Chain A
């Protein structure tokens, strides 16, 4: 692969940004796939609203 045309500063900038993006994506997916909710999905979560909303408040 002939990479003529890329300056050192472009290589550096691209390298930093691509590394951050790739690492963050990999980190998030790794954390997601090893998370408790993924490996032990909780099937009996209650569905009650976190904050009770009165019917009258619904406008």
Chain B
């Protein structure tokens, strides 16, 4: 049973927690966000968000998790209920299960790409065959990664459904690996993997970063620019952008992604601690280890390597995903005999970052089934696999219609912020900040500055509310355009919802056929809107499903004679 499980060692716990936090966001999303939001201008709001939102939420989640674990709960419905008086809190905790399962369904898909790319790179699949002309070799090298991508995703232009047998097989293998590790338990599975994966990930990252930063445009013909231009772009401070609300929103959003807060996975891992185990120092260690992987390694890998071959402008035009999966394998070919190994290290790094995070997403759902329905670990892992498969099939086969992106928006972005707001209200205002602070400091081996008491109580909730409102009501001209117009004395610009705002998404503002589109294209967009409506209904259905399970579990508890139930 989950309640009897414990972490085998403290270092293992920190590495597992850091593994949970260090994910694809550190190496793909962070450089892309930095590049799109003014480079150095992005870093100042990023660091402010880390201090006033990221670290307080990290401590809140660790403290809540340990508290709930003491009551026999290892998932957020039970943890929330143990801290709040109202019966409704357990339903708010359902969001912690929904986000974990929803994100896992598409995260595992990307994880399977990383595994496929890693193996294919090591086998030399992205290298041109020997004996071909330089022109043919160049053509092969530039087309091979996108051809491989289409092969494992089955994507074709203007096709809504995409089915690739090799891709589905790799996806199934990835799900199988995760389920197997989870079925081994917290100490025997997750902790063992974290102890191996995290040092390897750091090693892979350092090797690639050093090699990439040694690219020299003077000594090597293929290198066109200094890689340090890419690093300079991330770190050149542009103070004029500090007044741009869009940059602040992007930075705060990145903090959510990178620390894996607002998901329910930290609560779950922390619930396996004992009552007097420290959470202050271990929580801070996790946060700073994640920052090391993001701010240091994340900024020194993708952008510098890509900029050295393509130039800054070309790199700015591409997304993090495009650069990572389509462009970088080609660029590694310039590294001669080291190329297959470089590709293996890069995609291996992404795979390790992804698997340590996906394990953290699976564990809360398993713990919920073990705690509240007394399922054995093996049965819970099978149940988890069934749920992931149900969600994963549309993600993997209707990718072109944006099911993948839509899941990412609703459960991977919006739900995180809502969940974080609920938990900070529960912790600081319902449970009470004084009790919460006492809980945080129980067994603490780090003296948390008293300022965090006030930051957690006042600043963090206000910060999250601002982010939430800005995401819900974003105008089509963007918040920077909106405030610029007011600042210039032009008044409030005519209001239209942005396609990427919460309301804009609900109204399908991002899925309108272009003016003058042919009937075929208009029909295509109609299909897209219908599919998006169904995938949202599926997520709402999942929330209802977990809510019903919670209601059943608690009604059973209430009908059990006292002293016999959890």
- Chain A contact residues, CB within 8 Å of chain B: 1-7, 9-11, 13-14, 17-18, 21-22, 24-25, 28-29, 31-33, 35-38, 41-42, 45-51, 53, 55, 57-59
Check if B274 sits within 8 Å of A3, measured CB to CB: no
In chain B, residues 203-233, which have Cβ atoms closer than 8 Å to a Cβ of chain A?
213-214, 216-219, 225-229, 231-232
Residues of A close to B219: CB separation below 8 A: 2
Q: How far is the CB of B341 from chain A (nearest CB, A)?
A: 21
A50 CB to closest chain B CB (Å) equals 6
Chain B residues contacting A11 (CB-CB under 8 Å) are 235
In the bound complex, how far is the Cα of B4 from the Cα of A47, in angstroms? 11
Looking at the complex, which one of A2, A28, A37, A46 makes contact with B284 (CB distance below 8 Å)? A28
Q: Bound complex: CA of A52 vs CA of B564, how far in Å?
A: 16
Residues of B within 8 A of A13 (CB): 40, 43, 235-237
Q: Which of B236, B275, B288 lies in contact with A21, CB distance below 8 A?
A: B288
Q: Select from chain A the residue with minimum beta-carbon distance to B91.
A: A59
From B67, B87, B225, B235, contact of A59 by CB (8 A): B87
Q: Is the CB of A10 within 8 A of B278?
A: no
Chain B 36-81 interface residues, beta-carbon cutoff 8 Å to A:
40, 43, 47, 67, 70-71, 81
State the CA gap A48–B524 with chains docked (Å).
59
Most buried by B among A4, A18, A38: A4
Given A2-B218, A5-B229, A18-B295, A37:B10 Cβ within 8 A? yes
- Say yes or no: B70 contacts A9, CB within 8 Å: no
**B292 proximity list for chain A (CB < 8 A):** 21-22, 25
Beyond A4-B226, A50-B70, A59-B558, 5 additional contacts (C-beta under 8 Å) are A2-B226, A7-B236, A28-B289, A35-B278, A47-B275
For B214, the chain A residues whose CB sits under 8 A away are 1
In the assembled complex, how far is the CB of residue B69 from the closest CB belonging to chain A, in whole angstroms? Answer: 9
A10 touches B281 (CB 8 A): no
List chain B positions with a Cβ less than 8 A from chain A. Answer: 10-11, 14, 40, 43, 47, 67, 70-71, 81-82, 85-87, 89-90, 213-214, 216-219, 225-229, 231-232, 234-237, 274-278, 281-282, 284-285, 288-289, 291-292, 295-296, 435, 439, 442-443, 445-446, 554, 557-558, 562, 565
Q: How far is the CB of A15 from chain B (nearest CB, A)?
A: 9
Residues of B within 8 A of A5 (CB): 225-229, 231-232
The residues of A that contact B565 with a CB separation of less than 8 Å are: 55
Chain A residues within an 8 Å CB radius of B276: 42, 45
- CB-CB under 8 A from B47, the residues of chain A are 17
Smallest Cβ distance from A28 to chain B, in angstroms?
A: 4
**Cross-chain contact A32 with B10 (CB below 8 angstroms):** yes
| Residue pair A29, B228 in contact (C-beta under 8 Å) | no
Tell me, in angstroms, the Cα distance from A1 to B209 when the chains sit together.
12
Interfacial chain A residues near B213, Cβ < 8 Å? 1
CA–CA, A11 and B12, complex, Å: 35
A59 surroundings in chain B (CB, below 8 A): 81, 86-87, 89-90, 554, 558
Q: Which residue of B lies closest to A55 (CB)?
A: B562
Asked if B554 and A50 sit within 8 Å, CB to CB, the answer is no
What would 17 A/B residue contacts be, using CB atoms closer than 8 Å?
A1-B214, A3-B226, A5-B226, A9-B237, A24-B291, A31-B445, A32-B14, A32-B285, A33-B11, A37-B10, A37-B278, A45-B275, A45-B276, A49-B70, A50-B439, A57-B85, A58-B554
Q: Which of A29, A35, A37, A46 contacts B275 (CB 8 A)?
A: A46
Q: With both chains docked as a complex, state the minimum distance between the C-beta of A45 and any C-beta of chain B, in angstroms.
A: 4
Most A CB contacts (10 A, CB to CB) among B214, B232, B277 go to: B232
Q: By the criterion CB–CB under 8 Å, are B291 and A21 in contact? A: yes
Give B66's nearest chain A residue, CB to CB.
A50
Nearest chain A CB to B276 CB, angstrom units: 5
Chain B residues near A49 (CB-CB < 8 A) = 67, 70-71, 275
B551 to chain A, nearest CB (A): 9
For the complex, what is the distance from the CA of A47 to the CA of B213, rounded to whole Å?
51
| Chain B residues near A48 (CB-CB < 8 A) | 70, 275
Q: Are A6 and B232 in contact (CB under 8 A)?
A: yes
Give chain A residues whose Cβ lies under 8 Å from the Cβ of B71.
Answer: 49, 53
Within the complex, what minimum Cβ distance (angstroms) separates A12 from chain B?
8
CB neighbours (8 Å) of A28 from chain B are 281, 284-285, 288-289, 446
Q: With a CB–CB cut-off of 8 A, which chain B residues contact A4?
A: 226, 228
B10 touches A38 (CB 8 A): yes
From residue A47, how far is it (CB to closest CB) to chain B in Å? Answer: 6
